[in-house]
């Protein structure tokens, strides 16, 4: 029996929710954007009325205001969006138990064995749309295919342009449907890859599909091979509930509210990031032996900064241990220029309940582990700011600010 996979995508998700919360916004150009006085002043979602003026997601708020002077600007309410997303998942599970959240506004469904109960794929898609609209007032687009990549491509390139918001991409019709599209419309082709492909005369998805796969494997390895498979609509990954399990790294990063130039100020944020990463590692019963540090410079025109990693003597999830090696990387590679963004990741993960004993620092390891567990329990009961390092109370500290946010935006 041929698989039937849906990708259900919420149209202008954040903006749609804000319109349902306040009927006065209906029919007006609206954007959900971060604080215009901070670096977070970027468009997160735009209503269809705002898009009519050329407003796009991810562009700067001031650029959008130049396109539409009477633009309504609403701050994000991330907790509400997450809650609605989870409730939409519950709706989708009334049609099939195989539902895989892909992002906050996109979810895969395997409805192969739901057709006897709910009808044809098109009929099921309509019922899904109607259920979401009735409960949340949000319009859903549905891409249909026999695997996840076809469903994704159907949704992104065709369903979003259809009046009914539904499109089925047939694997045996790609030559007439998908292949004539520009190569940047292929999932996995970003701006840099687009330029690489254009430089080699590959301008359409069809050009890519009809190029020998060995060329892509030799030039870009596994990623190149996957792009070639995407162009042919080949995807063997199932819709599964365990997609996000078994992660390979635990990381956290943040864009600073202003350019940091003093080393001491940067160190404060680095320690806070180490605390957050190690807290997440302990929560997942994991520890890591490789630490990565990413530093982005303040200039958008001339890219500065670095990304480096270091393998520690033993796996750990203790913040001060990780911080020690992060500082070594920072001291070695920082060019002294202003810093705009910092990121830390812990990888080479292993079971956090298994400890590699150190002959000389065994007691310190035990103390660090117990301290971390106690801090976690206090924060779990009383909130993220119940226990803070004194350095976080200094002007450069961001821990209290971040505690009030989800995904970098206020709850």
* Torsional sign, CA 339, 340, 346, 352: positive
Structure tokens at 9: 């995508």
Do the annotations mark residue 376 as ligand-binding? no
CA angle (332, 260, 35) in 5-degree steps: 140
| Measured distance CA(138)–CA(128) in Å, rounded | 11
Rounded Cα distance, 280 and 286, in Å: 8
Contacts of 385 (CB under 8 A, 6+ apart): 399, 400, 403
Whether residue 245 lies in the annotated active site: no
Among 42, 17, 243, 246, residue whose Cα is nearest residue 132 = 17
Please identify which of the residues 106, 146, 272, 275 carries the catalytic annotation.
Answer: 106
DSSP designation for 236: -
Q: Provide the token pair at 154.
A: 């159907």
* Distance separating alpha carbons of residues 255 and 351, to the nearest angstrom: 31
* Structure tokens given for 35: 């604080």
Query: What's the count of helices (H) and strands (E) in the chain, helices before strands?
Result: 14, 14
Cα dihedral angle (363, 365, 371, 377), rounded to 10 degrees? -130
Interior CA angle at 371 toward 365 and 377, to 5°? 140
Answer yes or no: is 105 a known binding residue.
yes
Give the integer Cα–Cα distance in Å for 289 and 250.
Answer: 12
Return the closest-CA partner of residue 63 out of 93, 34, 41, 44: 41
* Both structure tokens of 308: 């480096």
Q: Which residues contact 126 (CB under 8 A, 6 or more apart)?
A: 164, 166
User: Would you name the residues annotated as active-site residues?
Assistant: 106
Name the binding residues for Mg(2+).
9, 105
């Amino acid at each position: 029996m041929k698989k039937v996979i849906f990708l259900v995508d919420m149209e202008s998700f954040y903006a749609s929710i804000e319109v349902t919360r306040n009927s006065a916004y209906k029919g007006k150009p609206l954007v959900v954007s971060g604080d215009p006085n901070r670096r977070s002043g970027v468009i997160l979602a735009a209503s269809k009325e705002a898009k009519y003026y050329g407003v796009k997601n991810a562009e700067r708020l001031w650029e959008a205001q130049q396109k539409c002077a009477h633009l309504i600007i609403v701050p994000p309410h991330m907790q509400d969006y997450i809650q609605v997303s989870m409730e939409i998942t519950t709706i989708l599970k009334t049609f099939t138990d195989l539902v895989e959240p892909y992002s906050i506004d996109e979810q895969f469904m395997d409805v192969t064995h739901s057709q006897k109960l709910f009808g044809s794929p098109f009929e099921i898609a309509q019922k899904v749309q109607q259920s979401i609209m009735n409960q949340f007032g949000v319009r859903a687009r549905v891409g249909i295919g026999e695997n996840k990549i076809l469903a994704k491509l159907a949704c992104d390139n065709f369903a979003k342009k259809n009046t009914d918001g539904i499109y089925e991409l047939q694997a045996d019709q790609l030559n007439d449907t998908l292949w004539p599209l520009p190569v940047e419309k292929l999932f996995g082709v970003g701006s840099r890859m687009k330029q690489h492909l254009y430089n080699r005369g590959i301008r359409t998805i069809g050009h890519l599909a009809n190029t020998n796969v060995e060329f892509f494997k030799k030039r870009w390895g596994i990623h190149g091979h996957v792009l070639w498979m995407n162009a042919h609509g080949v995807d063997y990954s199932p819709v599964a509930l365990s997609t996000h399990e078994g992660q390979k790294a635990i990381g956290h990063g943040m864009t600073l509210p202003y350019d940091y130039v003093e080393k001491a100020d940067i160190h404060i944020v680095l320690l806070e990031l180490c605390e957050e990463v190690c807290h997440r590692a302990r929560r997942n019963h994991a520890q890591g032996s490789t630490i990565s540090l990413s530093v982005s410079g303040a200039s958008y025109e001339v890219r500065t900064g670095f990304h480096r990693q270091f393998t520690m003597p033993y796996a750990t999830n203790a913040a001060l241990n990780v911080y020690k090696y992060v500082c070594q990387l920072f001291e070695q590679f920082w060019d002294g220029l202003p810093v705009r963004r910092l990121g830390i990741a812990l990888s080479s993960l292993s079971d956090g309940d298994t400890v590699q004993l150190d002959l000389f620092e065994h007691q310190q390891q035990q103390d660090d582990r117990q301290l971390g567990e106690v801090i976690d329990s206090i924060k779990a009961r009383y909130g993220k700011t119940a226990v803070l390092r004194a350095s976080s109370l200094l002007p450069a500290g961001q821990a209290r600010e971040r505690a009030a946010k989800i995904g970098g935006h206020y709850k």
